Structure formats: structure tokens, C-alpha cells
Chains A and B, each alone.
Chain A
Amino acid sequence: MFDSLSDRLTAVFRRFSGRGRLSKEDVEAGLREVRVALLEADVNFRVARAFVDRIRERAVGSEVLESLTPGQQIVTIVNDELVALLGGETRRIRYQPHPPTVVMLIGLQGSGKTTSAAKLALAVRREGHRPLLVATDLQRPAAVQQLEKLGRDNQVPVALPEGSADVPSVARRGVAEAARLNCDVVILDTAGRLQIDDALLEELRRIRQMVEVNETVLVVDAMTGQEAVNVGTAFEREVGIDGVLLTKLDGDARGGAALSMRETIGKPIMYCGTGEKVGDLEPFAPDRMASRILGMGDILTLAERARQHVDEKRAQEVMEKSMSGRLTMEDFLEQLRQLRTMGPVEGILGMLPGGRKLMQQAGSAMPTERDLSRMEAIVLSMTPQERRRPDIIKGSRRKRIAAGSGTNTVEVNKLLKGFDDMQNLMKALGGKPGKGMRGKAKMLRQLRGLDPSSLGLG
């Protein structure tokens, strides 16, 4: 159902490619596909309509129809327009020259404000500032405890309400506390509220009367549907917001809500939450979101994370080693660990073009975090000699390794077999350069024939 927009488009226009030209009707058919794909990504129907109108104008007005690759041209236009729509630059928290900078998180119930408050605190700290969390959600049971625990676990100070039930004065005391603790960024975690709840909206305005709030950030669930527009518009009108923080982007939501909000209220998406761990908050990048909505993966973020976590020189060494078939279990272990520092497997795969589809196809054959832990355990139960020369591992060694790692010999065999297959494949990839297309074709065949589970990943 969630076929990628670009796939659909290219398919539509490919049908006409033989003719070299596109008729107006062909374009209309393609644009209809664009509209449906946007709607399926939860883009608001009005926004989708306006968007398609703009594409039509550009497509018909330019030389697109006469060009040799009209389909590709239109895909490019769609991409450009998406990026333009999502806003050009990344907008982060603007720190005040005179501290404290006060950030207030607002939003519907369950959008993820408390978790995001903690994540934002860590992001702020990574940028060299000293955050203070203030618990002003006195509505939801245990919300204060939740924030307190998140603060304690991550060494971020938390200002607690201490008996007072008046939210604005709790906020004011929090800001005073920041001065005392020498914190220069204050993050207010407010209670969830409906955008039509007048009494609670008034409470937000009262907070701002008591405290100078510099950034009001609306926290929005990436899975929100057509309603996102009304939520955004109402909060902007009633309270006024400076930007949006998008949560739960680590699922398979296309995040059309982001597009709708940007278009209707014109406020930038500042950050997005991309995982369960407190470190999982990233500055929002419009071009990457465009790729996501189009279903083209998010290679850039992946590359960035890889840069953060992977030692390039070392990776090159391992690559060369494996090409010549001299990869050891130790290298394998190191690669495995590096992969894991980059985040959950499904998150990484999801950033590759077509990765989501691959995951759906793989289904239960997808390696889980648990599988990776078991693989790690197996390698760790090998002696140094075995790790360097896995071919010496025979019957009794297998049994010992299985017992040592708490797995069974079947799993050990699977890992060894997978390692072996990988070695052979890498050798084929690296060996005999200059064989040209035939070598490449053979390699591709081998790649295709490779069952993911044979890598010991199943």
C-alpha cells in the first residue's frame, strides 16, 4: 500500500517512455499517482491538492513534455518542490545571549513530550550547554516521576513542583532554580492537551506571562493523520509556536504530517525523535524528509551516523582484508559491534533505499537485536586461535563454543557457514579485477543468490 512515490511515478511515466513524449493525459495520470501517494503518506488532502497543482503548472509550463526523459524530469520537480515545501534550512534552538534560554514543549496527549524533553536536554548538553528540566505536567499520573527518573538516569537536573498545583508558578520557580544551579537552558515539560481545550490553552498563555519563554516547540507524533493541520493551526493561533518536534519517526510512518504542518502554519520542523533511547534525537533535515516521503531512503543520515561511529581507516583495512579472504572472526566481531553502535538494525536498514520493503519481505527472517547479541556471544566464546582461523573449529570445539555462549551447535554452525559464504563472496568481489561486465554479472548473481539467513543472521 505504501509503495514509494518515486516507484509509482517512474512506473507511470515509463509506460509512455517509448513514445518519447508525454501527452497532457499522461501527465494527469502521473499527477493522480502523486496525489494518492501523498495522501497515503498522511499529507493533508488540501495540501496534497495544492502541491499537485504546483507540479502541474511547472510540468506543463516548462520543456518537460518535450524532453527525452519526461518521467524523470517530473520526479525531479516533485523532489524539488517537496524540499522547498519542507523548508530549506535546519533550524535548531537559538540560545539567548543572556541566559537562561527557556524552551517550552507543548502538544497533544501521548505525542511524546516527556521523552522528548529528556532527549532535547541531552542534545542541548551535546552542544555544550547546561540544561535544566522542569516538570510542569501535573495532569498525567506519574508524569513528574517519569521526568525525574529520566533526569536522574542521564545526570540532568530536574526541578520538581513540590506541592504547588499552580503550573505557571512551578515554571517560574524552575527558571529561578536554573539561575541557582547555573543552568543556561530551561526545558519546560507541559501536560498534554487538546488544541480545543480552552482552559488548558489558557494555562500555557499564563506560563508565558510568568516566564519569558524563548522557544515554544510543538511536539507532534509522526503518525498523525489528516488532523495534523488542525492541531498545528490551533496551537499556532491560540498559543503561538516557533517550531515543531516530530516524534516516533523510527516507525514506518511516512511523516506526511510534517509536510502538512510546514505548509499550513509555515513553522520549521526543528528536531525529530528516531528511537527509544534518550540519545535518539536528530536535527531535522528537509531534504532527508523529502526522500523519506518519496520512499528513497535516508542515506545521508546513515552516512552521518557511520562517520560518528566508524573509524574510516579501520573500515578500509577490514574491507581490504576481506577482499583478499583474510577476514578473521575478530574483524567480524568488530564490525558487528560498530554496526550496533549505530542504532537498532531495523533503523539502519530503514534508511537504505528500499530498505523498508526489504524488511517487510524478510519478515521474521530479519535479524533482531537478540540474534546479534547471540552472534556476539558465539564469537566471544571462541579462543583467540579459533577467531583467527575459524576453519579449525570442528566437532568438539563447536560443542564447547555452543555451551560457552549459551547457544546450540546449530547456531554456531550457521554463523560459521555464513562467515564462510561471506568470505567467498568477498573474495569474488575483490578478486580478478578487469574482468569487466562478466565478473560483475557473476558477482551480482552471487549476491542475489545469497540467502540473508545464510549469513548466520536468521
Chain B
Amino acid sequence: MPEEEVVPAAHRSAWWRRMSPRMRRASDSFNEHLRDTVRTGRRVDESFYDELTEALIAADTGVGVAERVVVTLRDVVRNEAIHDTGEAVAALKRVLAQIMAKDRELHISDRPSVVLLVGVNGSGKTTTTGKLAHRLRAEGRTVLVAAADTYRAAAIDQLRVWADRGGAEVVAHQPGGDPGAVVFDAIQAAQARRTDTVLVDTAGRLQTKANLMAELAKMRRVAERLIPEAPQETLLVIEAATGLNALQQARAFHEAMQLTGLVVTKLDGTGRAGTVLAIEEELGVPVKLVGLGEGIDDLNVFDPPAYLDALFNP
């Protein structure tokens, strides 16, 4: 594999420089709402807490998280004798940062490591698979992509285009085939070729379809049979604009698949993905990657402080 594709450290930090302006778009309307809440010189009062709760709900955190977080904030404000609303928001960010204090590394040092990408229809699994392949290749890894979405029309073609862009090889069967068999072949091929990482693009499925969830669990078992530690990562792909159903999704997929992380896609839109707070709080599954656009480079590691800043900074 060509080694000149290893990305210099400077480039890597550039991913992050790009996140803030793009996330800013997402938070524009949100901040409009907040601007008045935290205008300079305003003192912390009851209506401030109400507005803050509403602002969090407007970001899709759900009523439960919003209320719990604000209760904690009240304590902090009292204990630290905070009066200014700006300071209170800074304190709120610290409260939220505590929920988000987690390990967000991808654990893919085994060779081969298997990464399963799962999620509901249209969340962006195929696109994410392509971008992740590119990203891992840029870090100097060899990547094999398994086209385990054998259901959706032309999904395999779509994946091939993305894998091409990402410089990864594809293992695919016929449309309509058994996805478990694709996983099996891909891992065997990876073992034979000593490939570093196998990315498995699965078909979208709603978490309420028991038979499709069972199919997913089978893919997991197939991977396990070949490599006891596999899948090293099972990532749930969710879309930033999804509401509280994302929590239902996370619960169901976690139960069936023991998730190791989340990928939040389309965060360059206006969705603010507040549900990840609810998911991280309840299930402890961390966001590991975020999708910020349609380009092959638009997949970044998740950085909670940057996310919270983009969410709250007016």
C-alpha cells in the first residue's frame, strides 16, 4: 500500500479547524434563541433556567436530560455563587462535559480489526463507510470493505464508488445474498492478505424489525467465529436531525449488538444532535466520529468541547 498517504499532523488538526465554522451553521438558530437568554449583564433568575431548559429541548436532548442537567446546574450556581448568565452557561458546559467524559478512540490495533457500521435506513452508513475507509487509508492502514447491504437496490454500486474514492478494496456478493456470508468472505480475505481493517457496511434497518435485528446479530456471530475479538468496533450511525427516536435506536441496537460507539452524520446541516447527550448519559456509548459534509474528507473524530462550544457560543 502506498505509504505517502500518511497524513501529516498539521493536516489532522485541520479537520478540527473545519468543524467549528460548519457546526456554527447548525447552531445559528439555536444561538439566536440563546443570545437573549445569556445577554451580557443579565442575572441568573428563574426564567433563565426555563429558557435554558427549552433551549436544550430545542436541541433534541429530550425533556429528561434537559431537566436533570438544569437541576445540576442550579446546585453548581448556588455552590459557586454564580450570578452572571454567561458564567452559568460556562458552568452548564462543564456539567455536559462530565456526561461526555469518555474514551473516544477507535480500538482497531488488531490485524485484522473488524468495524461494523449499523443503523436505520438513510442515516448515512454507506457514505460513512467510504469516508472512514479513506481516513484509515490516510493513516496508513490497509482497508477492505464488505458490502453487506445486499438488500437496498444499487447499494453495492454506491459502496463501490465510495470505496474507490477511499482507495479500499471491496468484497461483494450478488444483491439479495446472505450478508453473513459476505462478512465471512471479507474477513477470510483480510486474514489471507494481512489487511489491517475490515469495514462492514450493513443494510439499513428500523430497530423494531426483529428479524432484521436478528440478521445483524448473526453477522456479529460470524465475525466472532473467525476472530474471537471481532468485531472490535460496532458503530451506530445516526443522523444529526433525528429526534428522540435516536435514543430508541441506540437502546435497541445496543441490546442486539453491544455498541462501542456512535457516528453522527450530517452535522453540517442544522440538526444539533442533542440526543447524543441522552444516549451517552443512559447507555454510556460515546460518539466517536462525526460526518460534516459530502466530501471524502468530511469525517472527523468527535471532540466534546468543540461540540459544546459550537452548541452554545453566541
Contact = CB atoms under 8 A, between A and B. Distances in A.
A196 B25 contact: yes
A256 interface: yes
Given A40-B63, A145-B157, A366-B210, A108 B244 contact: no
B247 A1 contact: yes
A152 to B, nearest CB: 9
Interface stretch (A73-81, A223-231, A302-310, A429-437): A223-231
Interface in A236-279: 247-248, 250-254, 256-257, 276
B270 A153 contact: no
Given A231-B241, A368-B214, A194 B270 contact: yes
A23 B14 CA distance: 60
Given A40-B62, A359-B208, A248 B214 contact: no
B148 to A, nearest CB: 16
A149 interface: yes
B206 A226 contact: no
B239 interface: yes
A142 B60 contact: no
A346 to B, nearest CB: 5
Contact of B208 (A147, A250, A254, A256): A250
A225 B247 CA distance: 12
A39 interface: yes
Contact of A150 (B29, B57, B151, B153): B153
B57 A45 contact: yes
Interface in B134-171: 151-155, 157-158, 160-162
B248 A2 contact: yes
A110 B266 contact: yes
Given A194-B268, A194-B270, A350 B208 contact: yes
B313 to A, nearest CB: 19
A36 B53 CA distance: 12
A111 interface: yes
Interface in A137-173: 139-143, 145-150, 153
Contacts, number: 157
Given A194-B268, A225-B244, A141 B158 contact: yes
Given A145-B157, A368-B211, A45 B58 contact: yes
- From A146, A225, A346, name the one whose CB has the most chain B CB atoms within 10 angstroms: A225
A142 B207 contact: no
A112 interface: yes
B180 interface: no
Interface in A82-123: 108-112, 115
Nearest to B266: A109
A322 interface: no
Given A110-B124, A346-B208, A42 B57 contact: no
Contacts of B157: 141-142, 145-146
Interface residues of B, number: 52
A153 B62 CA distance: 41
B284 interface: no
A141 B207 CA distance: 26
Contacts of A109: 122, 124, 266
Given A42-B244, A42-B245, A225-B275, A251 B270 contact: no
A141 B120 contact: no
Contact of A146 (B58, B154, B247, B274): B154
Contact of B60 (A145, A225, A252, A368): A225
Centre residue among B60, B243, B272, B294 by max chain A CB count within 10 A: B243
B159 to A, nearest CB: 8
B242 A225 contact: yes
A195 B210 contact: no
Contacts of A142: 154-155, 157-158, 160-161
Nearest to A230: B270
B185 interface: no
Contacts of A141: 157-158, 161-162
17 contacts: A1-B247, A40-B62, A109-B266, A145-B153, A145-B157, A146-B157, A148-B154, A194-B266, A194-B270, A195-B270, A225-B244, A231-B270, A248-B121, A251-B245, A253-B248, A369-B211, A370-B214
Given A2-B248, A146-B153, A146-B157, 13 more contacts: A39-B57, A42-B60, A45-B57, A110-B124, A110-B266, A115-B121, A142-B158, A143-B154, A221-B122, A223-B245, A227-B269, A253-B245, A350-B208
Interface of A: 1-2, 36, 39-42, 45, 108-112, 115, 139-143, 145-150, 153, 194-196, 221, 223-228, 230-231, 247-248, 250-254, 256-257, 276, 344, 346, 350, 359, 364, 366, 368-370
Interface of B: 25, 29, 54, 57-60, 62-64, 120-124, 151-155, 157-158, 160-162, 206-211, 214, 239-248, 265-266, 268-272, 274-275, 294
Q: Which 4 A-B pairs have the closest CB atoms?
A: A225-B243, A110-B122, A141-B161, A42-B243
